[in-house]
Structure 1
């Protein structure tokens, strides 16, 4: 076995034990900024991915919910308190037009799926039954009955203590006005929750699948907002997903604020400008 990284080898060895297989090689994968991720090559010819992190069992349940709703996500092979082992999806190159169309069609289907995860409460449909985390940043998910309250209390306001006073005041002001901009009761769509292009895998330009969810139930436009935050999907994506209700431009800026606020907490004040720009766009 070729050892490239001691921590990765330890993670890989434990993952191989969970699978009851002999480890031949382990390769740390790119993108593991918040959780260690390792490719496994096993003596029986199988390939898998092992991922550490704060809540592997929660992520496994999110993957199961997404798969039940029709998403292309990795199969969970094994999971324990601090380790998730998954199927390795093909990951070679970027999406081309047909792949973007596949992503739009898949996401529309997931957002419209009637299936619900265990514990879903129709009286409080927005959120998830368990909190999650991006590395050290807690993601509160306790369900609420109306969507603007969820977005204010679970997504925007928890960031205020970590912002300069002027930005925090603007976030607080926007949170108070959310009922004017967001639907009170959108259809509760199952969200991927962290759908940026780095979590979309392709092979030969076609869609392999999506990884690293931070799922909960909410307005499906949240996933679209995240996908547009650091770039623009191919036009085939929107054509396949379908039209959005009027006012989506304002909602997109509101929904993009949350990942911007998470980036402030993870990576520092360099993202204050992104937060301020989105608030400027909203006139707050």
Structure 2
């Protein structure tokens, strides 16, 4: 049994059955906070496998669908989906993906990411949302049905549910509810000029940009849906990366798709939902940062 409760032998057997080939090795590799990850060797094929006994039913199938949707844009590479396994009596749930040998960023990597992300966003989405009833994020589920506009989607499908979750888990000051009510009336103004729904990665912190041996950026671990394109850009800056104003990345993005006036003032607003999500999942100081952001925009 692994550190997170994943039965490695059962996982190997389930993966072998799904791939139709023997799994010779299943070695742990870094995989984030919500999953346990492995490098699988399966008769000459290497693949990345993630699994968690706490994964919401259907979460890996939804992630696989999101990867395929991002790949359809032909804008940035994403790993191919090799197999999806749901929890049953025979084994744990899992997602098996094409293995990408890691490399180092090159001077061209940030520019390629900027141009590629602009192209991905321009591929668009049918609506704000994923077209599914829920967006599954580890053990959590958020409403994701289409909304008529971005401010409505942000408030009703992200901010309000996340505030309730984080407060309910004692990870957020209950005053957040009052602050959110004040922010709600200002959202249409604060959100800036209306834009059509972009094709978003949806969880694009810097750790979800994988660089291969050729220095090419790959997108991994999406929570793909239709949304405001500035959300992906803001997420890349949330944990102190170098993708802010003046960066090669942002210059390349804006060369393809210039941002609307006031974009810099909206960065922290778009970071509010991921801060609330992290508060609900992990606690710590994320709740304090979320309250500070709510006070800034609710004033």
TM-score range, shorter chain: 0.7 to 0.9
**Do structure 1's residue 150 and structure 2's residue 153 form an aligned pair?**
yes
Contact 2:199–2:225 (8 Å) recurs in 1: yes
Q: State the match for 2:84 in structure 1.
A: 79
Q: State the match for 2:72 in structure 1.
A: 68
Q: State the match for 1:24 in structure 2.
A: 24
Q: State the match for 1:252 in structure 2.
A: 267
Distance 1:38 1:13 in 2: 14
**Do structure 1's residue 113 and structure 2's residue 123 form an aligned pair?**
yes
Contact 2:179–2:295 (8 Å) recurs in 1: no
Q: Give 1:283 shift.
A: 5.5
Distance 1:203 1:265 in 2: 32
- Structure 2, unaligned runs of 5 or more: 87-92
Q: Give 1:4 shift.
A: 7.9
- Change over 3 Å in CA distance of 1:202–1:9 after alignment to 2: farther
Contact 2:15–2:85 (8 Å) recurs in 1: no
Q: State the match for 1:129 in structure 2.
A: 131
Q: Give 1:36 shift.
A: 2.8
- Change over 3 Å in CA distance of 1:10–1:184 after alignment to 2: farther
Q: Give 1:48 shift.
A: 0.7
Number of matched pairs: 272
Contact 1:23–1:41 (8 Å) recurs in 2: yes
Normalization by structure 2: what TM-score?
A: 0.84
Distance 1:26 1:208 in 2: 26
Alpha-carbon RMSD: 2.1
Distance 2:2 2:282 in 1: 27
Q: Give 1:89 shift.
A: 1.4
The equivalent position to 2:223 in structure 1, one of 184, 209, 214, is 214
- Structure 1, unaligned runs of 5 or more: none
The equivalent position to 2:289 in structure 1, one of 274, 277, 280, is 274
- SS of match in other structure, 1:97: coil
Contact 1:74–1:211 (8 Å) recurs in 2: yes
Distance 2:2 2:226 in 1: 39
- Change over 3 Å in CA distance of 1:267–1:4 after alignment to 2: closer
- SS of match in other structure, 2:185: helix
Q: Give 1:134 shift.
A: 2.0
Distance 1:49 1:159 in 2: 30
Q: Give 1:266 shift.
A: 0.6
Q: State the match for 1:239 in structure 2.
A: 251
Normalization by structure 1: what TM-score?
A: 0.88
Q: Give 1:61 shift.
A: 1.0
Contact 2:183–2:298 (8 Å) recurs in 1: no
Distance 2:145 2:26 in 1: 37
